[in-house]
Amino acid sequence: MGSWVVMAIPSNVYQQPKLGHSAQLSPQMAGLGEASDWDTTILVTDDWMKVASMKVASERRHSGWESVEKKWSENAPAPQRAGLKPPSESTKKADEAMARFPYPHIPIPTPQLDFDFRMKVLLNSQSASVAVGDSFKKLSTLSEGTWSGRFGYGLVVNGGQESQDVVQENLTATQVEATHRLQTGDEVPAYIECKIRGNMIGQPELVKALQDPGRSGVDPRSCRFRVFITMKTSDERYANKLNAGMWVGSCLWKGLEIIYDVYRIS
């Protein structure tokens, strides 16, 4: 198996980030909340604006800027009126879609992503292939694995995955479905069912090279690999944390090893 690209991982990657001290204000900003040189009693009236405009015009005449600006305006090309173009087909479709947009006045909260845990799995070198239409589906079992994150740490003790390559024009999409059994590191461990579904997309030769245990020197970040994850457990210590959760993962696949960085959707 080829070696992974070495990337520095902070030692506290799984710790809740601490809030820093309040930012120091610059002397200029700090003074705004206290004594200020700004005269807040000035009232802007129509007469005041007229006087100010006359003063600006006088200064422009005496400074010579009035004649310079006049030459600029004389030498400037005449503005071209852009002809009205008929709306494109995509614009029409967008307008039609917006006209049918349900409840446009109701704002809906935007989902947030929070890093939750990292998981590594190692697949067995022996796999089986099953014919599916004009293609093949590859069935693999798990050899070993570990995980660690915000809600604990432990081992990946069982499971497997199936994958199928689907060629789309000049790209290959490897569709992945997996089910892994996670064991926590508690004295009396809990067991968590982790279901994964997603795609790795890239140039056909790169996808093939990354899945080949005998190939080396290929950067696993050259292909995009994203997954959707759900988890379930009957253990009361973790049920409230996991059973109603949803996660997405950004992954790297090289040879028989897959690494998942998993983010909880909140």
- Domain residues of the chain, as ranges? 113-265
Spatial distance between the Cα atoms of 143 and 64, rounded to a whole number of angstroms: 83
Q: Kindly give the pairing relationship between strand 113-132 and strand 135-149.
A: antiparallel
Q: What is the DSSP letter of 212?
A: -
Cβ-contact 191, 239 below 8 angstroms: no
E strand or H helix that includes residue 129: strand 113-132
Render each residue's pLDDT in the chain as its tens digit; 266 residues: 555 544 444 444 444 444 333 334 333 333 333 443 333 444 444 554 454 455 545 555 555 556 655 665 666 666 555 556 666 777 888 888 888 889 888 899 999 999 999 999 999 998 898 887 777 889 999 999 999 999 999 999 999 999 998 887 789 999 999 999 999 999 999 999 999 999 999 999 999 999 999 998 899 999 999 999 999 999 999 999 999 999 999 999 999 999 999 999 99
- Just give the CATH number of 113-265: 2.40.160.20
CA distance 68 to 74: 10
pLDDT, tens digit (0-9, with 9 covering 90-100), for 160-175: 999 998 887 789 999 9
Mention every residue, 6+ apart, whose C-beta is less than 8 A from residue 124.
Answer: 140, 141, 142, 143, 256
Amino acid at 185: G
Residue 194, strand partner residues:
180, 231
Question: CA 208, CA 195: separation in Å to the nearest integer?
Answer: 24
What is each CA distance from 255 to 160, 215, 239, 258, in whole angstroms?
A: 15, 7, 34, 8
* Three-state secondary-structure class, residue 30: helix
What pLDDT is recorded for position 73?
A: 62
Are 199 and 164 a contacting pair, CB within 8 Å? no
Alpha carbon distances (Å) from 94 to 97, 98, 100, 104, 110: 5, 6, 10, 14, 22
The model's pTM is 0.64
Sign of CA dihedral 147, 151, 154, 159: negative
pLDDT in tens, 196-229: 999 999 999 999 999 999 998 899 999 999 999 9
Contacts of 146 (CB under 8 A, 6+ apart): 119, 120, 153, 154, 155, 156
244, 264 in Cβ contact below 8 A? no
